C-alpha cells in the first residue's frame, strides 16, 4: 500500500505545531530521533523533516507528496504546487521596518534605499508594483541587525509580536502580506495518494472546526426558544429538551469562539440561565 509522504520543518515552533496537528488527527508518529524521517504507526503516512525553504521544491518534484510550511515560503519560492488548505496556526505578517528615529510618511520613503531581507522575490515584486526603485540586500538570518551595522536602510522580514524590532531600534511601517501555516500538495498525485490526502484533510478540518467552535448548554423559558434559536443556529438548529420545571427547557448548540462574548450577552438579556460552555474535541460536519 502506498504511503503519503509529508514534509514538515525539521525544528522550531512550526515543526512542533505540525506534529501536534497530526497527533490531534489521530496519527501516531514513531518516536525516532527525527534526523530525516519517521513513520506513522496507524496511518499510511511518512514524515520527512526538512528545511522549510526546501519544502516547496521537494513537493513540486514529488520527493514529498504534501508539505506543511508558512505561506510566506510558498509565495517566495513560487513553485508549481497546489495550496491545498490553510491551517490557522503560525500566523504572522511580513513587513517593512526602518530605524525608529526616522520620519516616515508613505512607501515612497524607500525610493533609492537599500533593504535587507530573506525574501527578495516577494519584496522585489512589491516594489515593482509600486514603481519604486530599491536595492535589495539578500541575507540568510538576523535580518533585524542590518540597519544597525550599516548594511541597509531598512528591512523586510517576518513580524509576530514586534518585540524583536523594538529590541533592535526599529519600527514597523508597512505590512506587505499576512501569512499562516498552509498545507501544499504535488499536482500529480496518484489516485491512491489523493484518497489518502482526502482522508487526512477530513481529519484536519474536523480538528480545526473543533478549535474554532464551542459547545453551549443553557436553561431558558420555553417561550424564548424562537429568539434564542436565531442567536444559536448551531450546525442546523439548536437541540431543545424539556426540564422537570414547567415552562423551562434546556438548549444545546454550537457557537463560534470569536462570537462567544457577544452571544453570551444576548442570551443573558433574553433570560437564559445556567450557561455552560464546553470545548469540542472533534467536530465532523
**pLDDT tens digit sequence for 7-65:** 999 988 899 999 999 999 999 987 655 578 898 989 999 999 999 999 999 999 999 99
Fold designation for 4-89+180-189: D-Maltodextrin-Binding Protein; domain 2 (3.40.190)
Torsional class of 31: left (φ above 0), alpha (ψ -120 to 50), beta (otherwise): beta
Query: Higher model confidence: residue 199 or residue 212?
Result: 199
The CATH 3.30.70.120 portion of the chain extends over: 212-279
In angstroms, the CA 186 to CA 206 distance is 23
Question: Looking at 70-74, 133-137, 278-282, which range is the least confident one?
Answer: 278-282
In angstroms, the CA 199 to CA 262 distance is 35
Between vectors from CA 164 to CA 69 and to CA 176, what angle results, nearest 5°?
55
Look up the CATH architecture of domain 212-279: 2-Layer Sandwich (3.30)
Per-residue confidence at 141, pLDDT binned at 50, 70, 90? Answer: confident
pLDDT above 70 for 233: no
CATH of the domain spanning 92-179, picked from 1.20.1270.360, 3.20.20.140, 3.40.190.10, 1.10.10.10: 3.40.190.10
- pLDDT mean over 236-251: 88
pTM, two decimal places: 0.81
Among 176, 131, 178, which residue's Cα sits nearest to residue 155?
Answer: 176
pLDDT at 62: 96
pLDDT above 80 for 282: no
The CATH 3.40.190.10 portion of the chain extends over: 4-89+180-189, 92-179
Amino acid at each position: 500500500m502506498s504511503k503519503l509522504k509529508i514534509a514538515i520543518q525539521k525544528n522550531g515552533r512550526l515543526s512542533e505545531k505540525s506534529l501536534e496537528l497530526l497527533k490531534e488527527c489521530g496519527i501516531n508518529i514513531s518516536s525516532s530521533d527525527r534526523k530525516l524521517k519517521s513513520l506513522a504507526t496507524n496511518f499510511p503516512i511518512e514524515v520527512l523533516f526538512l528545511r522549510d525553504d526546501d519544502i516547496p521544491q521537494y513537493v513540486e518534484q514529488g520527493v514529498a507528496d504534501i508539505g506543511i510550511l508558512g505561506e510566506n515560503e510558498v509565495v517566495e519560492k513560487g513553485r508549481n504546487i497546489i495550496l491545498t488548505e490553510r491551517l490557522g496556526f503560525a500566523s504572522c505578517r511580513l513587513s517593512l521596518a526602518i530605524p525608529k528615529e526616522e520620519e516616515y510618511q508613505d512607501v515612497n520613503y524607500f525610493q533609492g534605499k537599500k533593504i535587507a531581507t530573506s525574501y527578495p522575490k516577494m519584496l522585489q515584486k512589491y516594489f515593482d508594483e509600486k514603481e519604486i526603485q530599491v536595492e535589495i540586500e539578500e541575507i540568510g538570518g538576523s535580518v533585524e541587525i542590518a540597519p544597525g551595522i550599516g548594511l541597509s536602510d531598512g528591512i523586510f522580514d517576518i513580524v509576530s509580536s514586534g518585540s524583536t524590532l523594538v529590541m533592535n531600534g526599529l519600527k514597523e511601517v508597512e505590512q506587505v502580506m499576512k501569512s499562516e501555516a498552509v498545507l501544499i500538495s504535488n499536482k500529480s498525485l496518484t489516485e491512491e495518494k489523493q484518497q489518502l490526502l482526502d482522508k487526512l484533510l477530513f481529519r484536519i478540518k474536523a480538528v480545526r472546526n473543533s478549535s474554532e467552535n464551542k459547545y453551549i448548554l443553557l436553561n431558558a423559558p420555553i417561550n424564548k426558544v424562537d429568539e434564542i434559536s436565531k442567536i444559536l443556529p448551531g450546525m442546523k438548529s439548536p437541540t431543545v429538551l424539556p426540564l422537570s420545571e414547567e415552562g423551562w427547557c434546556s438548549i444545546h448548540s454550537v457557537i463560534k469562539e470569536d462570537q462567544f462574548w457577544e452571544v453570551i450577552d444576548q442570551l443573558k438579556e433574553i433570560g437564559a440561565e445556567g450557561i455552560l460552555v464546553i470545548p469540542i474535541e472533534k467536530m465532523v460536519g
